[in-house]
Amino acid sequence: MIVELKSVASVIDIKTKIIYPKYQMGGYDKLSGKHIDDLDKLDERFVNEMSEADITLINELPKTKKLTPYEDLYRRRGVRSKY
């Protein structure tokens, strides 16, 4: 299921946890996705522009086995200080 992240003009596939850039005229770029576990490798500006609602949506996704409680999005670099 695809859910829109309005604040960063992207969508997230909540099943695969991959974030894709959204086209202005609708749809999204299926070839440019990044997995949520790779968010620390994304541009810092992308993370800083995320709204609190989008961050909450991502934090409510079921965690993968690789993640620890200390690795959720709120605690990532640049996001915790925003809220």
Query: For residue 11, what pLDDT is reported?
Result: 93
The answer to whether 30 touches 56, Cβ cutoff 8 Å, is: no
**Helix, strand, or coil here: 52?**
helix
pLDDT bin (cut points 50, 70, 90) of residue 43 is low
What residues does each domain of the chain span? Answer: 2-75
Q: What angle do CA 31, 21, 46 make, to 5 degrees?
A: 125
Query: For residue 80, what pLDDT is reported?
Result: 47
> Each residue of 64-77: pLDDT tens digit?
555 555 555 555 55
Rounded to the nearest integer, the mean pLDDT of the chain is 77
Query: For residue 78, what pLDDT is reported?
Result: 47
Instruction: Please name the residue that has the structure tokens 């990044």.
Output: 34
d(CA 71, CA 9): 23
**Helix, strand, or coil here: 33?**
coil
